[in-house]
Structure 1
Amino acid sequence: MAKIPYELDTKDIHGPKGKLPWITYNGVHIADSQLIIEFLNKKLDISVNKNTSKEQLAIARACRVVMEEHFFWGLIQYRFIDNVKAVPQLTKIPAMFKLLLPLRSCLLKQRMIDNGIGKHTPTEIYQMTEADLHTVSGALGSKKFFGGDEPCEDDCAIFGGVAQAVWGLPGSSFERLCDGELKNLKEYCERMKEMYWPDWENCMDKS
């Protein structure tokens, strides 16, 4: 989005904090997307939010937090708890990792319980996280992007979450919502995809 040249390095996947994403800039390691964006903005004097109002930025930030901190658990419930056996159909993973998926599922379930949301039934979890999509859809309304006519920084993260509902959770109630009454979210994803991912299909083939 900011047209910053970069080089992809897959040698150390999880980086110094064991978190994705992370970058190295002139020998300095920074982990977490928000910290990375703030670092690059300051270092390179960049802002993609200059044409976005304070009100739009506030709404976009709130929607990002909803997707990252709450809807995320609905995604986990559907993909890694209720449909963990289907994960290899969504992405190419090494055979060893396939064997570890049941353990991964148990660990994620415990994380959900520790968070609190995992103490609810799957039906209740889906009801709560479907409401997140309704909230984000309402905030987007008829706008092209959450930043207005142009995407803002938070559009990056919101797109990442909504795209999971649109393309990454086949057969889910989330997918049905985006194909139906919340179709503005799918149209939004298509716009982001067209603008920033012209090589989308090639990326999918190599995943």
Structure 2
Amino acid sequence: PLPTGHLPALRTRDEGTISKPQQIITHLRKQKYNADYDLSATQSADTLAFVSLLEEKLLPVLIHTFWVDAKNYVEHTRKWYAETIPFPLNFFLPNAMHKRHLKRLQLIWGDDYMEDEEKLEKELYREARECLTLLSQRLGSQKFFFGDSPASLDALVFSRLAPLLKAKLPNGKLQQHLKSLQNLCNYCTSILSLYFPWDGGDPLSGAPRAAGTDGSEAEEDPHKRRKQLLSVLVGLVAMLGYAFLSGIVSIQRGSVGPAGRQPVAPALEEEEEEEEE
């Protein structure tokens, strides 16, 4: 389990667990792991400028695209996370993450940022498209931003662009602009093939089975079935608790009939549509 409850997280010998990205980068640089070691002063200044541009102009719009845009969130992001997160956390975490990102945008753009959709579309998305265009112009025909070797800027740019490029978004205003910048698309595809060759497939599908895997589950872990049963019970309790709190399930006392008093039993209340989390 993660000591901080958040990713990324790096467990160190001297400083404990570090969870903030910039602190992790600083720690690694102290250990002589520095992707920018060979950069010139001008290239280091360019890195700082583009990092600031990405965080100010592109990241908030990416958050809006994935987490606030209603169509994208319901049909892609929430579904994607709910299918990936283990049960029963997949019932609660996507909605909690949605609220956290919404508050983050409110801090960046102000409480009334959602009231003017036209301004959001014309100004904020325009600035994000301009940011992508600047990245495309800076990259040019190079393999990476500073030549043939990746630097920290490449890691940041890839982390922002690859999800946008690969996600199947029903509302892809910003995505279409990225796809029109062919060198950025080739850049992401090249990094995927170089450093993530298993992307799009199961990296373990062709791996040989370890010795002893043909034995029974009980022989591998005598407590495995007990753990699985406890997990199921915890999940059922969580689901019932959620159902009672949301009003999906209620307890009704039966009336007294000729055959005597009927026992108390749960009654499911039919709903025309499921409540969105």
Task: Decide: shared fold, TM above 0.5.
Answer: yes
% of aligned pairs identical? Answer: 24
> 1:140-179 to 2 correspondence within 5 Å?
140-168=139-167, 170-171=169-170, 172-179=172-179
Does 2:111 match 1:112? Answer: no
Distance between the aligned counterparts of 1:130 and 1:203, measured in 2? Answer: 34
Contact map agreement 2:78 2:94 (CA 8 A) in 1: no
Residue number in structure 2 paired with 1:8 = none
For 1:149-196, what per-residue CA distance to the aligned partner results, in whole angstroms no more than 9, with x for missing partners?
21112211111001122113634122212221x111111111211221
Higher helix share: 1
- Residues 32 and 100 of structure 1: is their aligned pair in 2 closer, same or farther, counting only changes over 3 Å? closer
Q: How many residues align?
A: 190
Distance between the aligned counterparts of 1:203 and 1:159, measured in 2? Answer: 21
Contact map agreement 1:88 1:98 (CA 8 A) in 2: no
Following TM superposition, the consecutive aligned residue runs of length 4 or more in structure 1 with deviations greater than 3 angstroms are: 88-91, 93-107, 202-205
Distance between the aligned counterparts of 2:127 and 2:168, measured in 1? Answer: 17
1:199 Cα deviation from its structure 2 partner:
2.3
1:113 Cα deviation from its structure 2 partner:
2.2
Does 2:74 match 1:85? Answer: yes
Which stretch shows the higher mean deviation, 53-62 or 160-169? 53-62
Q: Which has the higher contact order (CA 8 A, sep 6+)?
A: 1
TM-score (norm 1): 0.76
Distance between the aligned counterparts of 1:204 and 1:110, measured in 2? Answer: 36
Aligned to 1:63, which of 42, 50, 61?
50
Distance between the aligned counterparts of 2:18 and 2:126, measured in 1? Answer: 36
Aligned to 2:30, which of 42, 61, 66?
42
- Residues 195 and 54 of structure 1: is their aligned pair in 2 closer, same or farther, counting only changes over 3 Å? farther
1:107 Cα deviation from its structure 2 partner:
4.3
> What is the identity, as a one-letter code, of the residue corresponding to 2:109?
G
For 1:127-168, what per-residue CA distance to the aligned partner results, in whole angstroms no more than 9, with x for missing partners?
222222122222222221123221112211111001122113
1:204 Cα deviation from its structure 2 partner:
9.2
Distance between the aligned counterparts of 1:38 and 1:107, measured in 2? Answer: 26
